């Protein structure tokens, strides 16, 4: 997408002597899908992150998708989870401790505000923010919550993630209207996510 976008901009400014190099025999880069049981499944990127459901047009990738006919998909409900403990029982809310993590994370936002104003963000980890706001991992369920809410999305543990960056992720703050909370749009389009790049490439002649 980056290479094709650059070629489009050059053409818009009258530069047409362009060669786009592709690392494979198809257009799309990491955007790739396959058919499994008659359903299109993304193998690379599968969502548009940082969408404001109340005003998705604020997101440039969403705007680009609409230009080429839109993408079929949905906004996931991350709270609609069924959880089990190590004995395959569904733990109750007090055992699950989901809200404890969420509350610690919300309280960390206040800490980030203070650190930003004082210029002390450097070196402060997400782990520190969680700990000072009452979150510790004591049980297997605690560890699962932390993995799902942090490790899974960040790609590493809270010990290795900067507190200010993790809570002020521009992916989820740059394209939202005041007071709105960004979420993800999961792409389930039968033509695949890569149809955007294919349409862009067709315009670069």
Residues 103, 159, single domain; the answer is yes
pLDDT band at 186 (very low <50, low <70, confident <90, very high): very high
- Model confidence at 94: pLDDT above 70: no
Cα–Cα distance measured from residue 116 to residue 110, given in angstroms and rounded to the nearest whole number: 10
Class of residue 32 by CB neighbours under 10 A (exposed 0-12, middle 13-18, buried 19+): middle
Render pLDDT for 146-158 as a digit per residue (tens, 0 to 9). 998 888 878 889 9
The yes-or-no verdict on residue 26 having pLDDT over 80 is yes
Q: Give the pairing of strands 39-42 and 33-36.
A: antiparallel
| Weakest mean pLDDT among 47-61, 64-78, 85-99, 122-136 | 85-99
Residue 84 lies in a domain: no
Tell me the average pLDDT across 34-39. Answer: 91
82 in a domain, yes or no?
A: no
Q: Range of 129's domain?
A: 93-173
Based on the fold, state whether residues 10 and 62 are members of the same structural domain.
yes
**Does residue 84 surpass a pLDDT of 80?**
no
Q: Do 157 and 107 have their domain in common? A: yes
The reply to whether 149 and 105 lie within a common domain is yes
Under DSSP, is residue 155 helix (H, G, I), strand (E, B) or coil?
coil
Q: What is the pLDDT of residue 152?
A: 84
* In a shared domain, residues 98 and 166: yes
Average model confidence (pLDDT) for the chain? Answer: 87
Residues 25 and 54 in one domain: yes
Within this chain, do residues 195 and 128 fall inside the same structural domain, yes or no? no
With bands split at pLDDT 50, 70 and 90, how would you rate the model's confidence at 127? Answer: very high
% of the chain with per-residue pLDDT over 90: 36
Domain count of the chain? 2
Average pLDDT estimate for 116-138: 90
Specify the CATH number for the domain of residue 54: 3.50.50.60
pLDDT at 93: 64
Is it the case that residue 36 has pLDDT exceeding 90?
yes
One DSSP character per residue, 38-73 reads TEEEESS--EEEEE-TT-GGGSHHHHHHHHTT---E
Does position 50 have pLDDT exceeding 70, yes or no?
yes
Distance CA 169, CA 181 (A): 12
Tell whether 23 is covered by a domain. yes
| Domain identity same for 193 and 169 | no
């Amino acid at each position: 997408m980056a290479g094709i976008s650059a070629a489009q901009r050059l053409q818009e400014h009258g530069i047409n002597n362009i060669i786009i190099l592709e690392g494979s025999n198809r257009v799309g880069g990491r955007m790739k899908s396959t058919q499994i049981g008659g359903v299109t499944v993304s193998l690379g990127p599968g969502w548009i992150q940082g969408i404001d459901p109340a005003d998705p047009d604020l997101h440039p990738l969403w705007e680009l998708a609409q230009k080429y006919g839109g993408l079929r998909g949905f906004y996931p409900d991350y709270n609609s989870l069924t959880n089990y403990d190590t004995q395959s029982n569904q733990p109750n809310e007090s055992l699950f401790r989901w809200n404890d993590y969420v509350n610690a994370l919300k309280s960390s936002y206040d800490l980030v505000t203070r650190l930003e104003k004082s210029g002390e963000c450097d070196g402060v980890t997400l782990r520190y923010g969680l700990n000072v706001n009452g979150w510790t991992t004591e049980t297997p369920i605690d560890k699962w919550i932390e993995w799902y809410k942090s490790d899974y999305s960040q790609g590493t543990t809270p010990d290795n993630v900067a507190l200010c960056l993790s809570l002020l992720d521009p992916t989820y703050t740059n394209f939202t209207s005041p007071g709105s909370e960004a979420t993800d749009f999961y792409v389930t389009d039968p033509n695949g996510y890569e149809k955007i790049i294919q349409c862009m490439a067709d315009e670069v002649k």
